[in-house]
């Protein structure tokens, strides 16, 4: 190909439009632009026919760090890679090695597997991939051992646009369901075998029926960006199942596509994902993506040479300023993308816009989001990325959720992000687990627990964390994404069955995973033989699950459920199953009777939340009426029906409380609920609180194995009560009452 063909395509008299990074289909070929600001040359590499030699097209430049060209004859579906020329000076951070075929960071599609071996490393390594990271460059060609980038033309996509039928669910009504594309459907009997574990399987009617029937409103997918498994896992025969090891910020992970789509190529993979998003929207479900922009799959300096490291190592990755050059790692993965660089911010925003505009997703959950907001002086609330994501037209109105921590200095920042960002609330997780599990476990040994004030703060929306803004209280409790479990940690069923993690299968001698689980096995570790004396603890374990789940559902804020928790999924005590792609992590759909009961309870509780305005709120509570003549939006009482005072909030022996909440529904009618909680190991007599003429109807009791037990309660005559009536609460239980129609609320 002549040098002339590798020049910028159109030169206007007053200059050309700055190139868009990546490879874009235009009339007659493609426009190519690659950021490599420290390089001396960049080549677009096209595989030859069969095993023929690779074609290399030199790009013109650099202009402001970008090499670009119009390359005729290249079409959608063609494979390509990049080779970068420049200094090999690892002591000063420069790692250009043209022997290595590189993945385009802006590639819309990838094909081929990541194969680790000496040739995939930029520096010389031995057969076990060990070597001096500051040593000489490796001259072996990596082509054939790394994926090819693929030209994808989003403009050629057909079918409905998933961005056009977004549900736009308000935060007040949002219930998030965190799921893994593969794990959710791999064992689903209603999904055809060829669709299990795929994007198409996610949108199968059997799955949609479950999600809609459950009562969730948004599906948050664990990473679907193309990812690579780390070398240390490959050595053990394991895989990075969760996908927090990004290889491409624009390319869907091809493993989650059907065999037919994979065979047809990246265009078909993208189309399958878009079709799934559209189907979820048609069912009224939003789609959020868990995205990992804080680091890449290349790992630390001893890691492979696949993309960003070979393109512009000192630009893309944060360095600590030392000589020899080394990474500043605040992610715990070996590398950290440097969000002090406008180019890194630009890459992230380009990616977010692509997934919003082309794939049509409804929002993003940002892994280790504090890293994304680190400037020269550490975390800053007005970091350009946070502001840009909040104001970008393509992202306007979409849900932006931060995981508000990383492992660097000052890394815990829960409650410190700006509007319109929401955040995972780890304080909620800790408080709820402590109250229902860790504290009773300590009490069983005569040890004190936490005070109820922390639980009360979390139940009422965590205003201490999310109320700070200008003007105050504008974020609202919806900014608190409440969770008891997530992909990372014990499942809900394991929280009540294990005191300790059991991660030996991960091959790290049980050293990985958190030791701060705040779990309680109730007296026996792991599964219990139904014929053993320990079987007496099983009903209490199930009640604890119901307590945890109900607390999540009724708390002010945005509840997030982990897939399978509604059916008692277990990982057999593994609290860090990131590398387990097996029945250990897949959702099981063959339900024992108690799991069917739990599923019915989950549906019941979510329906109560949906039907009662007092169980939802878009504003923080004030303890005053929202409207003239109404009652206070929030009030707290002890077991005797007496309003809490300062002494009771600070009394560690108090384990029983009543929460009264009031709100007006969409038709202006006042809705009032009373939540009664007994966190003690003994039964407690409770005098129901409320206005003098209030009559209460019991709609749920955590003692019930199944909501149908409400009928038995009606027969026993305990379904209705009045303010001032005394009722006995079982140990470690909670009840939910609603004000009966015709009582004092109208």
Catalytic residues: 367, 403
Residue 391 burial (CB count, 10 A): 10
- The whole-angstrom separation of Cα 229 and Cα 262 is 19
Q: How far is CA 428 from CA 370, 461, 602, in A?
A: 19, 9, 19
Hunting for tokens 């082509």 — which residue is that? Answer: 143
* Among 607, 633, 486, 594, residue whose Cα is nearest residue 554: 607
CA angle 3, 9, 13 (to 5 degrees): 115
Q: What is the dihedral of CA 33, 229, 363, 575, to 10 degrees?
A: -160
Both structure tokens of 531? 């014929």
Strand locations in 87-214 (E): 88-89, 94-95, 109-111, 148-150, 176-179
Confirm if 238 and 579 have CB atoms less than 8 A apart: yes
Q: For the chain, how big is the Rg over CA atoms in Å?
A: 28
Both structure tokens of 11? 């030169």
- The whole-angstrom separation of Cα 286 and Cα 362 is 6
H helical segments located in 460-568: 463-466, 492-495, 538-554
Beta strands at 94-95 and 88-89: parallel, antiparallel or unpaired = antiparallel
Measured in degrees and rounded to the nearest 5, phi and psi for residue 687 equal -95, 115
- The whole-angstrom separation of Cα 397 and Cα 552 is 25
- The whole-angstrom separation of Cα 658 and Cα 354 is 48
- The whole-angstrom separation of Cα 258 and Cα 264 is 10
């Amino acid at each position: 190909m002549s040098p002339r063909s590798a020049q910028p395509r159109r030169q206007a008299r007053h200059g050309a439009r700055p190139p868009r990074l990546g490879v874009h289909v235009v009339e007659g070929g493609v426009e190519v632009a690659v950021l490599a600001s420290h390089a001396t040359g960049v080549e677009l590499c096209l595989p030859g026919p069969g095993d023929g030699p690779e074609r290399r097209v030199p790009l013109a430049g650099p202009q402001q760090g970008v090499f670009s060209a119009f390359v005729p004859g290249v079409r959608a579906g063609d494979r390509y890679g990049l080779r970068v020329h420049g200094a090999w000076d690892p002591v000063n951070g420069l790692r250009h090695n043209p022997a290595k075929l590189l993945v385009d960071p802006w590639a819309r599609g990838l094909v081929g597997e990541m194969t680790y071996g000496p040739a995939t490393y930029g520096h010389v390594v031995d057969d076990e991939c060990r070597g001096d990271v500051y040593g000489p460059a490796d001259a072996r060609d990596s082509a054939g051992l790394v994926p090819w980038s693929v030209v994808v033309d989003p403009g050629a996509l057909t079918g409905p646009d998933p961005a056009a039928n977004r549900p736009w669910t308000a935060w007040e009504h949002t219930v998030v369901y965190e799921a893994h594309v593969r794990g959710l459907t791999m064992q689903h009997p209603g999904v055809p075998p060829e669709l299990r574990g795929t994007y198409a399987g996610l949108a199968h009617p059997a799955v949609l029926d479950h999600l809609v029937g459950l009562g969730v409103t948004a599906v948050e997918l664990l990473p679907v960006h193309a990812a690579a498994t780390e070398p240390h896992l490959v050595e053990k025969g394991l895989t990075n199942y969760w996908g927090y090891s990004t290889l491409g910020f624009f390319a869907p992970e091809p493993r989650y596509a059907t065999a037919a789509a994979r065979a047809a190529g990246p265009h078909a993979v993208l189309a399958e994902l878009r079709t799934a998003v559209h189907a979820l929207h048609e069912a009224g479900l939003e789609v959020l993506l868990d995205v990992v922009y804080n680091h890449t799959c290349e790992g630390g300096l001893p890691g492979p040479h696949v993309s960003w490291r070979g393109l512009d190592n000192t630009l893309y990755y944060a360095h600590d300023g030392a000589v020899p050059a080394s990474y500043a790692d605040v992610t715990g993965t070996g590398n950290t993308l440097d969000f002090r660089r406008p180019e890194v911010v630009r890459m992230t925003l380009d990616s977010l816009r692509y997934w919003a505009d082309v794939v049509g997703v409804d929002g993003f959950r940002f892994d280790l989001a504090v890293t994304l907001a680190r400037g020269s002086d550490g975390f800053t609330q007005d970091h350009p990325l946070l502001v840009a994501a909040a104001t970008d037209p393509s992202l306007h109105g979409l849900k932006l959720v931060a995981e508000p921590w990383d492992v660097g200095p000052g890394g815990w920042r829960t409650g410190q992000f700006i509007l319109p960002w929401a955040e995972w609330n780890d304080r909620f997780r800790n408080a709820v687990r402590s109250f229902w599990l860790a504290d009773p476990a300590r009490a069983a040994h005569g040890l004190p627990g936490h005070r109820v004030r922390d639980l009360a703060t979390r139940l009422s929306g965590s205003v201490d964390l999310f109320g700070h803004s200008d003007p105050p209280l504008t974020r609202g409790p919806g900014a608190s994404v409440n969770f008891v479990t997530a992909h990372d940690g014990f499942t809900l069923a394991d929280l009540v069955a294990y005191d300790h993690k059991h991660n030996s299968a991960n091959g790290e001698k049980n050293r990985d995973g958190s030791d701060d689980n705040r779990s309680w096995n109730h007296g026996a570790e792991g599964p219990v033989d139904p014929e053993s004396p320990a079987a007496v603890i099983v009903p209490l374990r199930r009640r604890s699950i119901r307590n945890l789940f109900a607390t999540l559902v009724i708390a002010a804020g945005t509840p997030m459920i982990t897939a399978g928790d509604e059916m008692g999924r277990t990982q057999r005590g593994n609290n860090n199953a990131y590398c387990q792609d097996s029945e250990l992590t897949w959702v099981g759909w063959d339900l024992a009777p108690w799991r069917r009961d739990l599923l019915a309870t989950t549906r019941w509780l979510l329906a109560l939340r949906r039907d009662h305005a007092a169980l939802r709120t878009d504003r923080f509570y004030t303890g005053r009426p929202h409207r003239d003549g109404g009652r206070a939006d929030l009030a707290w009482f002890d077991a005797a029906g007496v309003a809490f005072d300062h002494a009771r909030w600070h009394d560690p022996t108090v384990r029983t409380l009543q929460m009264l909440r009031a709100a007006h529904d969409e038709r202006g009618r006042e809705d009032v609920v009373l939540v009664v909680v007994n966190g003690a190991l003994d039964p407690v007599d409770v005098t129901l609180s409320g206005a003098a003429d209030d009559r209460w109807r019991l709609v749920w009791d955590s003692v019930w194995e199944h909501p149908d037990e409400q009928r038995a309660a009606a027969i026993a005559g305990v379904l209705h009560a009045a303010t001032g009536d005394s009722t006995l609460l079982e140990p470690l239980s909670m009840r939910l009452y609603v004000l009966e129609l015709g009582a004092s609320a109208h």
